[in-house]
Structure 1
Amino acid sequence: MSGLPRRALAGLLAPALLGVPAARATAWPDRPIRLIYPFTGGSPTEALARTVAEQARLALGVPIVFDSRPGAGGQIAAEALARSAPDGHTLGWVTTNILTVNPHLYPNLAYRTADFAPLTVTYRGPLVLAAGRGLPGGDLAGTVAEMRRRPGLAYATAGIGTSPHLLMEMFQAQTGVELAHLPFRGEQLILTELLAGRVPLFCGSLATLQPQLDSGAFRVLAISTSGRLPGAPDIPSFAELGMPSLTWRYWHGMVAPAGTPEPLLRRLHEVLHGVIRSAPVQARAMLDMQVEPTTREEFAALIARDLDAYGRLIRERGITLT
């Protein structure tokens, strides 16, 4: 973290420290705590988040109300959190996109990254690139050669500005291929099309593909980890295939509204750190989830780094919502 801009890091942590009266330990929590969640139900991430909420309930002794606010790329949930009272009774589940990508894509965003006090990362995950059975090429090198022969070949992701979209922009910049982005409204929809042979390329979560890995309908070309995953040893990493700059992970984390009293932030972090490492939460981890907490400072540094890096990528590649 020594190479990170100190002002950026301080800016993320400062809102939690300015002009806030000391919290009375005996008065908190004195009612249910709300966890604002930015997605619809039914995903492995939701199962993980609900387990975190349940274990936090046991640790704090008050109900944790799971408040799902999906839509608009996480903006609805983030705005609701930013407008919540900074009293330790509202938390938010956030993502790479909500805090570090949306600010560069939406000119009239109703929240700022500085509106939130970082607590901890909940998990990090890599992305995979997969090719449908109808696309020739075999391994990654052969498939890249096929991409060069067919400029404009389509790749599917879960939407414009998502982590897979950004990774594929990096992939195109490194390989020099020209691909067409095909955004969907969710990875399960892409999987259906991939299995049917109607989508030539997919970039997204390995967890989405996991139930169909042995179907023969697609081949996983590479994963964005630094080395092979122990649970998927047959999938090579981009790094070992000569593309170390594509070693990349998205993240999910938890934050509080800026201005939440410092003693409450310390206590929330202490509780969440233990909760994330608990056996029930670890048992919810999918094949490609690294469920591991961080310090508040580490999370703030990660946000600052990614906010800068993705801003540069979006500008250099001319990524827009249209």
Structure 2
Amino acid sequence: MLKQFIGSIGKQFVLITGALLLIASPLTYAQNWPTKPIKLIIPFAAGGTTDILGRLLAQQLTKDLGQNVIVENKPGAGGNIAAEFVAQSAADGYTIMLASGSMLTVNPNLYKKLPVNYAKDFVYITNVASGPMLVSVSTKLPVKTLGEFIAYAKTKDLNFGSAGIGSQVHMAAENFTYSANIPATHVPYKGESAAINDLVAGQIDFMVGNLTAATGFAKNGQIKPLAVTSLKRSKQLPDVPTVAEAGIPGFESTGWFGLVAPANTPKTITEKIYDATVKAVNSEALRASLDLNGLTAVVNNQKEFEAQVKAESVVWEKVIKGRNISAQ
């Protein structure tokens, strides 16, 4: 009996010890994170605003986290290709994504079939930064002001480029053409930089692109900047009026970019990513880079970020249904 009793106690001790190890292991793992390089997935091609911001952020996070943060571009399908990759990645904090606002608020309302559930397959960490858009046209168009462009567009069958169906660049242009009451054909690309290159070449007529990606081309005279979509003029292009000033009172459209991780990523890890992002964005170097690129830091917390996504999703759902915009 004594041997059986001791044997029973021994088995229970082993089971309890094993259970404690299983519980302690993930906690220890999360507390020690990061111990290897981190992938920062960019859902669009190199050269666009998401890519520019992602690389600036990765550089600063590398310093603050003590591990390399490596940028990987996975463009296509309005960001859905990258989203699927991240959603299927291990929830261990070593694969995160800098998503455009449109991916989280527009795509769920626009695409009939999606490879991911944006509300359930990700944990929202923070909205990193936001910035205005720039209404710009090909140098081939015989217009100098937004008013002239709107009048000209009403007599022609023009087209506009975007970073892809449902992208912020696409939806900003849809919002603009609707507000200006002008007809135009959408030409989607696999990233903003490709669309801007064709605008420079005169292959498309106009864009409402992110200010960050378009400013250099505007300053070099490769495209004609007609108006910014913020309520105030941009320091980067102070002589360019706002859309509201130039002919559409009250018009405003901004883009933003947020960090997300696969669902079930431990809170300890997402909090570390958030804290590191806040530190990075508040650093003098990144602040200066954001300002130079026409971006404004946001870094809201998880609850605020989730509330922002929900509120904007409602708005875009109405716009998409009202204007009968869809994607396969």
Structure 1 residue 155, shift from structure 2 partner: 2.5
Of residues 88, 97, 100, the one that matches 2:102 is 97
Gaps of 5+ in 1: 1-19
**SS of residue paired to 1:53:** helix
Give the AA of the match of 2:299. Answer: P
Larger helix proportion of the pair: 2
Cα distance in 1 for residues equivalent to 2:47 and 2:206:
25
Would you say 1:232 and 2:232 are equivalent positions? no
**SS of residue paired to 1:225:** coil
Match of 1:295 in 2: 301
Cα distance in 2 for residues equivalent to 1:76 and 1:218:
30
Give the AA of the match of 2:244. Answer: A
Query: Superposed, which structure 2 residues align to 1:63-212 within 5 Å?
Result: 63-114=68-119, 115-150=121-156, 152-212=157-217
Summarize the Cα distance change of 1:39–1:193 in structure 2 as closer, same or farther, 3 Å threshold: closer
Once the two structures are superposed, residues 151-178 of structure 1 have per-residue CA deviations (whole angstroms, 9 ceiling, x without a partner) of: x322233332222221222223223222
Of residues 285, 300, 308, the one that matches 2:314 is 308
Structure 1 residue 30, shift from structure 2 partner: 4.2
Once the two structures are superposed, residues 240-291 of structure 1 have per-residue CA deviations (whole angstroms, 9 ceiling, x without a partner) of: 2353553111111111222223333323211211112223323433432224
What is the aligned length? 302
TM normalised by structure 1 equals 0.81
Q: Percent of aligned pairs with the same residue? A: 31
Cα distance in 2 for residues equivalent to 1:47 and 1:184:
17
Once the two structures are superposed, residues 99-141 of structure 1 have per-residue CA deviations (whole angstroms, 9 ceiling, x without a partner) of: 2222223222121122211111222121111233443443222
Structure 1 residue 237, shift from structure 2 partner: 0.8
Match of 2:20 in 1: none
Once the two structures are superposed, residues 194-216 of structure 1 have per-residue CA deviations (whole angstroms, 9 ceiling, x without a partner) of: 34444332221333433333555
Match of 1:257 in 2: 262
Would you say 1:319 and 2:325 are equivalent positions? yes
**SS of residue paired to 2:313:** helix
CA RMSD in angstroms comes to 2.8
Cα distance in 1 for residues equivalent to 2:53 and 2:213:
15
Q: Which has the larger radius of gyration?
A: 2
Cα distance in 1 for residues equivalent to 2:71 and 2:164:
25
Structure with greater contact order relative to length (CA < 8 Å, sep ≥ 6): 1
Tell me if the contact between 1:23 and 1:264 (Cα under 8 Å) persists in the aligned partners.
Answer: no
